Structure 1
Amino acid sequence: MTRILSVEDLRVSYATRDGRRTAVDGVSFDVAAGEVVALVGESGSGKSTTAHAVIGLLPEGGRVDGGAVRLGGLGDAEVDVAGWSSRRLSTVRGALVGLIPQDPVTSLDPVRPVGVQIAEVLRLHGVRDRSGARARVLELLERVGLDDPVRRAKQYPHELSGGMRQRVLIAIAVALAPRLIIADEPTSALDATVQKRILDLIDDLRAEHGTAVLLVTHDLGVAAERAQRLVVLNHGRIVEQGPTADVVAAPTDLYTRQLLADAPALADGFRAAPAPLYLRDAASAAGENPYAIVAAGLVKQFRVPGRESFRAVDDVSFRVRRGTTHALVGESGSGKTTTARLITRHLQPDAGRIALAGEHVDALRGADLRRLRRRIQLVYQNPFSSLDPRQSIGAIISEPLANIGEGSRAERRARAAELVDRVALPADVLSRTPRELSGGQRQRVAIARALAISPDIVVLDEAVSALDVTVQARILELLESLQQELGLTYLFISHDLAVVRGISRTVSVMHGGRIVEEGTTEDVFAHPQHDHTRELLAAVPGRTEVAA
């Protein structure tokens, strides 16, 4: 089999205030024509640095200190491009190696139509025929599955969905039919069904043209399904590599075993949830409403200028028993986040009723609505944007207490210290700021802040979707232990059924603003009744055979 890429003893470092820090240390692997090789590891493992070093796209301060990067296809023999200048490497990028970056928002020029951006790649590599370039652009947009290519070519990135923007990046990457595609976390920000379509598209292009793929991912579930070989990195070193089936079946390294254990798509079974709290003490619970949340007939419409009102939530009803976790699952635009904001009364419903522990709260205003915040708190998806970067962690956690005038300053500081310990963070984070913490640490801070005023209900809106699977697993373990310790009720919002399987007792599947299916999580997984539920389940990585 023809070798397209050979990385040998690659070493990369970054400049820091304390000198140079090694990010990649002696990494070696090959990628053959038509093969998918996955670089797997957590954030900071060196996988993206390795991929970017291959084509000379290291960020400022990054430097290749040694090793070889040999590319096939530049002549009769492989050529080591590790020492090439960025200008010389620009002749390779696009023509021989195509890159699909992680974030389509920052990777596309917001002020130019996407068709112009695709054509630019052709122009830079010598295509001067404008009509020919335009035809090629339309062909590429159609090939990556975008409807009405003529209209799409004229649109700007903000006019496209996340999945559409990612397809544009794929069109750019394959425009010149490269022999190698580097896909750097190409689906980490996408819904499960969109992720599946994007990965299927990359696989189709590989099969059609014999293109090699270097897939960078933190998710071993995705890697196990899509790659023929795995290369597992930890702290800049390869700890294990080999055929996918062998690594998944019998991992030899402890770190690999942990990644496999933490991958929700590869987990077995469902959450063995304890009996709801209201059943644990039958005597004291006699006559008590067993439901922490009851939503009945919720409706929410939004006005769109120049168009008819858009009904984001359409007659949604569900109930959540005390002390349990209920999941709302669906793709972006399904209405799940709007429903969560209705439940927390960050939005006012246009119709329907909301009851928390038997008390109707849909009509609360003013002081009554502020008192509601003591009972229900919201944890957002992005812990960085939801935490004030100017405040210390101690001030952030104690802020809800200050807002309701509870406790003295010293008492609030003591409460913040108690909560930091409860969410398993070191005490010294209290004096630090959010930018000094990792993503997982920031999410623990967000959870601690939500617990500051001792709520009964916590709504978690995609609270783990932006995290590496290992960090995600630790946060889910934390949530479960807090629920058991404090008797919390969770409303868990997610697009990822693999995560939901491990955290929730019951689930409602949303599509087009409506609930299309609900039941216990185990029943919904085992016997899905609605086509959309079956599509979501089919998109869970690892439910198909491991790549061979």
Structure 2
Amino acid sequence: MISPVNILDVRNLTVTLDLGPRGTRAVLTDVNLSVGENEVLGIIGESGSGKTVLSRALVRWVTSPLEIESGAISYRGNDLLRLPRAKMQALRGRKIAYIGSDPASALDPTLPVGRQIVEKLKSIEPDISNGEAEGRVIRLLDAVKMPGAKQRFEEFPFQFSGGMMQRALIVDALVTNPDLLVADNITQPLDVTVAAQILRLLRELQRDFKTAILFVSSSFGVINEIAHRVLVLAGGRVVETQSVQKLLAAPQHAYTKQLIADIPRIWQSSTEAVADEVSPAANDVILSVRNVSRIYPARDRNKLFANQFVHAVRDASFDVRRGDNLAIVGESGCGKSTLSRLLSRLEVPDSGQILFMGEDIASMKAKRLLALRRKFQLLLQDPFSSIPPHLSIGRTIAEPLYVHGGLSRSEIRDRVAATMQEVGLSLDLFGKLPVGLSAGQRQRVSIARALVLDPELLILDETLSALDQVEQRKLLALFQRLQDQRGITYIYISHDLGMVRRACNRIAVIYLGRLVELADNRTTFIEPRHPYTRALLSAVPAVEERPFKAETYLLEGEPPNPIHIPAGCSFRPRCPFALDKCAIDDPPLAARGRDELAACHLTEIDPHHQ
């Protein structure tokens, strides 16, 4: 039951950006909101709407060139903007907690994670003993379902996965039992199963600790999973506030209506789904992966001068047809990014073949590989680190043409200009540095840099995962137009199943480095054969009813360590339907229907097992 008493009231909050000689620009304008005790208020809007600035302003973490120009932020009747700095610092961390979207940058890489949380607790409660502080942190690590909490207490951030680091930051935020938690896009960088676990965990903790939560997200599906009410931000202004269900059923503002129209529909009838599209001809293969494996040596910390081996990709075999939009999906750590590096020849497999247009790029000599690289390109996830900050946008896009040679400067300039226009970049940006570009604009620069060589295959490694649903829709429309005009083939490596449902005609599901299912769009989302595929679908944040219930399929914890692959079926320890033979026999990836493959003993008993 939500209390009618407000724990936080924000009135007429305005935040400006100092533009130097050009004056100032408003980032937030006259924002009003309230959060009741034991309430979860969702904040949603597209990139640039002011969500993150608002979340940081609420804990008074706005720094130059941003400035809080006017307004009031009242926490239990105290205006935070007028509190002395020392009192605000005492309040922040003790009664008001904040979690950001990048857990890696929030943790000190030189200290064990548990020790960092203890240090924070003791700074706030100096009278607490070391033993009591450690005990409280370990109990909370257990409460957030950290696997092996006592052992993880002494491990360093680099030994944690993204989901484990986010759990650690939740413990760090809740260790002092705060009244208010500000969570800024904390599920965006996580795969669907971990994100679903984090959302369920927050609901449980909010119920148990009676903590009010202000939850910022760019996904309506995520907001629908956790929030009681939702506030819509557009251009730094609040355009609508009401309960989540009322907003989804009857949005009032035109901006909200467009946001809701942009939500990917996964199971409802949708003109966006590519489920019924005809697959490209099976005999027109542009890329063939045959029994590819990649193993990395890793030091065994328990033995002197001994190695263990990480089985990142295990005996992967599949074909990519010309004109395909093939998705490769799975949890973090399942081998997706390793596979992308192998497909783009940034790494060489330990065994197997990768045939691009009939030639094995795995064993190819450097000179031939350089010539062939014009035909396949890799687009990475982070649009900020993948573009050099010291080069102009035009020079960045032109770089591949200079590497491969054969064109004059004027020809290069003409091709770069034409490609910029093709991807929707203004020619005014040609001579400018990338500073100030949005994430979507930066991705367009990366796309243009790849397209300038006229490739036939693009490998997109989480390329759209950092973007909101509006920007995703724009870039997916761009990819479709480029495919229609140029005949490009796409491989989407992603954990965003909503995007995959909208964009891809075939889906490969990978678990612990092994392909466990390969099928067309409709089969994957409506009649998947493998329990792991259903587990992924049960975790998708959605505004519609899911046919695969989280109570049955949702996975707990992290995938098993790829150093110690379980015997038999590697999914058996997490499978709710495992058979006795699953502990002994590893099922092969075999035909289970028309153009469908699955590696599961259950499909041998019942091909349509649900």
Pairwise TM-score range, normalised by the shorter structure = over 0.9
- Secondary structure at the residue paired with 1:367? helix
- 1:289-316 superposed Cα distances (whole Å, 9 cap, x missing partner): 4112221111112222342222211111
Is 1:85 the counterpart of 2:84? The answer is: yes
Deviation at 1:264, TM superposition (A): 2.9
- Secondary structure at the residue paired with 1:151? helix
Is 1:32 the counterpart of 2:39? The answer is: no
Q: 1:46 aligns with which of 33, 46, 50?
A: 50
Partner Cα distance (2:114, 2:152) in 1? 7
Partner Cα distance (2:206, 2:544) in 1? 19
Conservation of the 8 A alpha-carbon contact between 1:299 and 1:351: yes
Deviation at 1:194, TM superposition (A): 1.0
Partner Cα distance (1:277, 1:134) in 2? 58
Residue number in structure 2 paired with 1:293: 287
Deviation at 1:479, TM superposition (A): 0.6
Deviation at 1:534, TM superposition (A): 1.4
Residue number in structure 1 paired with 2:417: 417
Partner Cα distance (1:4, 1:197) in 2? 27
Partner Cα distance (1:518, 1:300) in 2? 20
Letter in 2 for 1:4: I
Residue number in structure 2 paired with 1:168: 168
- Equivalent residues in 2 for 1:104-503 (5 A)? 104-130=103-129, 131-264=131-264, 268=268, 269=270, 270-271=273-274, 275=278, 289-305=283-299, 306-503=306-503
Partner Cα distance (2:106, 2:454) in 1? 42
Residue number in structure 2 paired with 1:285: none
Partner Cα distance (2:479, 2:528) in 1? 27
- Secondary structure at the residue paired with 1:167? helix
Deviation at 1:544, TM superposition (A): 6.0
| Deviates most, 379-388 or 123-132 | 123-132
Conservation of the 8 A alpha-carbon contact between 1:127 and 1:133: no
Partner Cα distance (1:156, 1:149) in 2? 13
Partner Cα distance (2:340, 2:125) in 1? 52
Deviation at 1:339, TM superposition (A): 1.7
Partner Cα distance (1:452, 1:267) in 2? 37
| Deviates most, 381-390 or 195-204 | 381-390
| TM-score, normalised by the number of residues in structure 1 | 0.93
- 1:184-239 superposed Cα distances (whole Å, 9 cap, x missing partner): 11112111111111111111111112221100111122112221111000111001
Conservation of the 8 A alpha-carbon contact between 1:326 and 1:505: yes
Q: 2:14 aligns with which of 4, 11, 18?
A: 11
Conservation of the 8 A alpha-carbon contact between 2:267 and 2:544: no
| Deviates most, 11-20 or 223-232 | 11-20
- 1:66-102 superposed Cα distances (whole Å, 9 cap, x missing partner): 2222223xxxxx3332321332112322332221222
Partner Cα distance (2:349, 2:336) in 1? 14
- 1:359-383 superposed Cα distances (whole Å, 9 cap, x missing partner): 4443211222112212211111112
Deviation at 1:515, TM superposition (A): 0.5
Partner Cα distance (1:384, 1:11) in 2? 28
Conservation of the 8 A alpha-carbon contact between 2:199 and 2:225: no
- 1:269-295 superposed Cα distances (whole Å, 9 cap, x missing partner): 42267656669xxxxxxxxx4112221
Partner Cα distance (1:187, 1:276) in 2? 33
- 1:29-71 superposed Cα distances (whole Å, 9 cap, x missing partner): 1111221111111232122222222221212343332222222
Conservation of the 8 A alpha-carbon contact between 1:260 and 1:266: no
Tell me how many residue pairs correspond in the alignment.
Answer: 532
Deviation at 1:407, TM superposition (A): 1.2
Q: Structure 1: any 5+ residue segments left out of the alignment?
A: 73-77, 280-288
Partner Cα distance (2:264, 2:336) in 1? 21
Letter in 2 for 1:30: S
Is 1:526 the counterpart of 2:529? The answer is: no
Is 1:62 the counterpart of 2:88? The answer is: no
Q: Does the C-alpha gap of structure 1 residues 90 and 525 become closer, same or farther in structure 2, counting only changes over 3 Å?
A: same
Partner Cα distance (1:203, 1:162) in 2? 20
Partner Cα distance (1:274, 1:154) in 2? 51
Conservation of the 8 A alpha-carbon contact between 1:225 and 1:544: no
Partner Cα distance (1:353, 1:122) in 2? 53
Partner Cα distance (2:384, 2:236) in 1? 25
- Secondary structure at the residue paired with 2:24? strand
- Secondary structure at the residue paired with 2:374? coil
Conservation of the 8 A alpha-carbon contact between 1:315 and 1:514: yes
Partner Cα distance (1:523, 1:210) in 2? 42
Partner Cα distance (1:329, 1:336) in 2? 7
Partner Cα distance (1:348, 1:56) in 2? 49
Residue number in structure 2 paired with 1:282: none
Deviation at 1:25, TM superposition (A): 0.9
Partner Cα distance (1:328, 1:316) in 2? 12
Letter in 2 for 1:403: V
Q: Structure 2: any 5+ residue segments left out of the alignment?
A: 300-305, 547-610
Q: Does the C-alpha gap of structure 1 residues 113 and 219 become closer, same or farther in structure 2, counting only changes over 3 Å?
A: same
Partner Cα distance (1:362, 1:459) in 2? 16
| Deviates most, 292-301 or 360-369 | 360-369
Conservation of the 8 A alpha-carbon contact between 1:54 and 1:82: no
Letter in 1 for 2:53: T
Q: Does the C-alpha gap of structure 1 residues 265 and 185 become closer, same or farther in structure 2, counting only changes over 3 Å?
A: farther
Partner Cα distance (2:70, 2:545) in 1? 38
Conservation of the 8 A alpha-carbon contact between 1:277 and 1:487: no
Partner Cα distance (1:98, 1:266) in 2? 34
- Secondary structure at the residue paired with 1:431? coil
